[in-house]
Structure 1
């Protein structure tokens, strides 16, 4: 990505629509764009944050499209550079013609995330906000979008910066003492008291607590952003398709008392408590020789093995001992997968249904009685002891951020251990400096080409 280039990209999906938006940015953008605009002087002289009407054209006899152009003067633009956004008709051939015209005017196709990368380089946002932009675009639920907006507003940056600033203040005092070791602090007769006067343990503990709160939010943040895979498993006629329809609130999966009705898995998206789920109705598990159903069971097994949580259903009206033995065997296999599993006892509305065994949740597909408890148990299995985040909570979902916070925490905990063990000041300083460096990488104050490539390469073109 050459920072001196003028770049252009479609910022809206390529498809038939009323309008499309094409972004441009770079030094000399307005002058270059004016060469293909019907009112070149007006465009070049337009103040920032104004919109100009006209035609994009090669010349008056070869017009491309009737457009409006939003003008942004540096540094008051998304990228911090001179920029323009073209609002044109949402015709695929029209969009293609406009892009071809821009390329002849000296623009090149922007790389994925290049607009946001330039915004970061020009000081318009830190890396936590840049990642939040990507997370907003990828949000699959209102809750995920709301939490990403919190991050875009700078709340993660503010918390990281608060912790880092306190550590930097400590390191400033430590550095002076390391540079001038003969200047002993007054009133300090022993080394441990001398170190603690430079490095207040309560300040370090406060930093640890703040970072631990952020790390603990990662699981729920990841669930809100990326969702989870939920597999409905069990023998034939256990009620999987009925439960699938109960989740979706529609008759999506065929329900029948004929064994083997679902011969392959069926997938559908559903949002529960703001968490996007991929729900799978799998083929009934049983021993068969019929080749098609056997293949469906094999594929369903792959779905189950790659799920985030398994809902295993058992028909409470089935008194066949061999069937119960089969279920026990399947549950043992699921246990070996080390995946969360919620065990459900179905058809409790029928008079011949036996009482639910210990560890099973009773459920009636007809009345829905017990379904709320099943959903609650499923969410508990997904969260693994963490709580659901509220709209105003500070939550992270970036693996990069989590790994760096973990590294910063490790450095602080090592520093605390060294202080308790009366280790030399220079050893403690190395751990503190490591924590500060990791926190700096989170916001982008400390960065490398590899880090920036990892953050921005996953963005869509036009962002």
Structure 2
């Protein structure tokens, strides 16, 4: 990719607050000028650390150490400067202000990594892995991010791309010199099937990779007063949701994150589903149904002290109609003398759902946490690098569909110029995956989720 020319950006790359050390990063075509104006060195070399003072004209700002990285041998591929000053909000901001005063501008979120991608220092897969690494909330997420950071996944994607490019080149040669070159249908078919197999191998763990990083989308559903909000509070170990005896208290979804034995959970408490004429409650119920459709795991909370009624059955039918969803039926209130689980087994015996008995009120939910861990730990404890974002998965799945279409065209006896259309579209999707083919909208969306200074 052609290296682009940029202005100079700067940002604080350590958390704002009290600390031993603060760090400010600078990248762009004015780095040397900034060094001369603010650090006043007699001479300096790339990749060496120096000690001295940072100056605003002749005024000393802070006693620092600093490193100059000459492009393209830097994180961004441009000239870079890293300043390590005393920690603390005010002093670090003063260092940044001095740099900005001397020709830099404040960097946008993820702009350093964005420049690294545009300058060919890394692909989008690695850039997203770096962001995931920083934001990891569990050891599982950290492991998956480190695996992806190793570049082995990018190498597999590059191998697929190169094989597609070879096929495209062979077809081009055949179309240009039909009398001298002839591709056999069988040979072309075998090559495409091998590519398809490699794509499917990468996609095989992608759903689990996405869950490991983005969290297991877990929706709590049930009729009003079944104990949904109480269960949410018990899982979070804090009072997050309002709990009352009044049906319909929860009108909207409540989202929280938690860690269950290393599994990152995105927990959603929803409005109780029942027949109602209340307009606000109806909106909440619609959002509940939408959340169920998007969930990875559904916790269907049933009040174990009351009969399985029409409201329970209404939710149960919703759940059954959602295919390929993991469901745990949570029989709540087992601390009550009125608790009776026999009625429920009669109603749910036609489905292979897990059934766990708990007392959310008394925080007796370990059996539920253990079941969630049992269901997902092995799936998410991924050894091989895999895709970790929906964007990555969508791009590779699209590339795969075009390969399937190309194979289908061959089997139907279409000419290679028709096959070539799908090959080119598949390559375009691979370029989209790696960042070799991008739009400003795509990059802005991805890097807006990064922290400032990365």
Structure-1-length-normalised TM-score: 0.80
**Contact 1:255/1:261 (8 A) holds in 2:** no
Kindly report which structure 2 residues correspond to 1:110-125, keeping only aligned pairs within 5 A, or say none. Answer: 110-125=107-122
**Contact 1:283/1:296 (8 A) holds in 2:** no
Kindly report which structure 2 residues correspond to 1:241-390, keeping only aligned pairs within 5 A, or say none. Answer: 243-244=231-232, 246-248=234-236, 250=237, 252=239, 259-260=245-246, 263-264=249-250, 268-272=256-260, 274-280=262-268, 301=285, 304-307=288-291, 308=295, 309-319=297-307, 324-332=309-317, 340=325, 342-348=328-334, 352=338, 353-355=340-342, 356-357=344-345, 358=349, 359=351, 361-365=355-359, 370-371=367-368, 374-375=371-372, 388-390=379-381
1: CA distance between counterparts of 2:137 and 2:411? Answer: 47
**Contact 2:330/2:358 (8 A) holds in 1:** no
Q: In structure 2, do the counterparts of structure 1 residues 370 and 295 end up closer, same or farther at CA, with 3 Å as the change threshold?
A: farther
Q: In structure 2, do the counterparts of structure 1 residues 421 and 15 end up closer, same or farther at CA, with 3 Å as the change threshold?
A: same
**Contact 1:52/1:68 (8 A) holds in 2:** yes
Is 2:161 aligned against 1:167?
no
SS of match in other structure, 2:175: helix
2: CA distance between counterparts of 1:144 and 1:377? Answer: 17
Is 2:74 aligned against 1:77?
yes
How far did 1:208 drift?
A: 0.5
- Residue deviations 1:26-51, cap 9 Å, x none? 234134223122xx224xx2222222
1: CA distance between counterparts of 2:280 and 2:212? Answer: 30
Which structure 1 residue ranges, 5 or more long, are not aligned?
186-193, 381-386
Pick from 201, 214, 222 the counterpart of residue 189 of structure 2: 201
How far did 1:432 drift?
A: 1.9
- Residue deviations 1:313-361, cap 9 Å, x none? 2222324xxx623322444466688895543323456665242412561
How far did 1:288 drift?
A: 10
2: CA distance between counterparts of 1:281 and 1:450? Answer: 33
Kindly report which structure 2 residues correspond to 1:156-235, keeping only aligned pairs within 5 A, or say none. Answer: 156-183=153-180, 185=182, 195-196=184-185, 199-235=187-223
Equivalent residue, structure 2, for 1:53? 51
SS of match in other structure, 1:395: coil
Is 2:126 aligned against 1:129?
yes
How far did 1:368 drift?
A: 5.0
Which structure 2 residue ranges, 5 or more long, are not aligned?
none
**Contact 1:33/1:102 (8 A) holds in 2:** no
Give RMSD over aligned pairs: 3.7
Aligned residues: 434
SS of match in other structure, 1:41: coil
SS of match in other structure, 1:57: strand
How far did 1:85 drift?
A: 0.9
Q: Work out which of the two has the higher radius of gyration on C-alpha atoms and give 1 or 2.
A: 1
Equivalent residue, structure 2, for 1:424? 415
How far did 1:206 drift?
A: 1.5
**Contact 2:31/2:81 (8 A) holds in 1:** yes
SS of match in other structure, 1:437: helix
Is 2:32 aligned against 1:41?
no
Structure-2-length-normalised TM-score: 0.81
**Contact 2:263/2:373 (8 A) holds in 1:** no
SS of match in other structure, 1:405: helix
1: CA distance between counterparts of 2:92 and 2:333? Answer: 56
Is 2:388 aligned against 1:400?
no
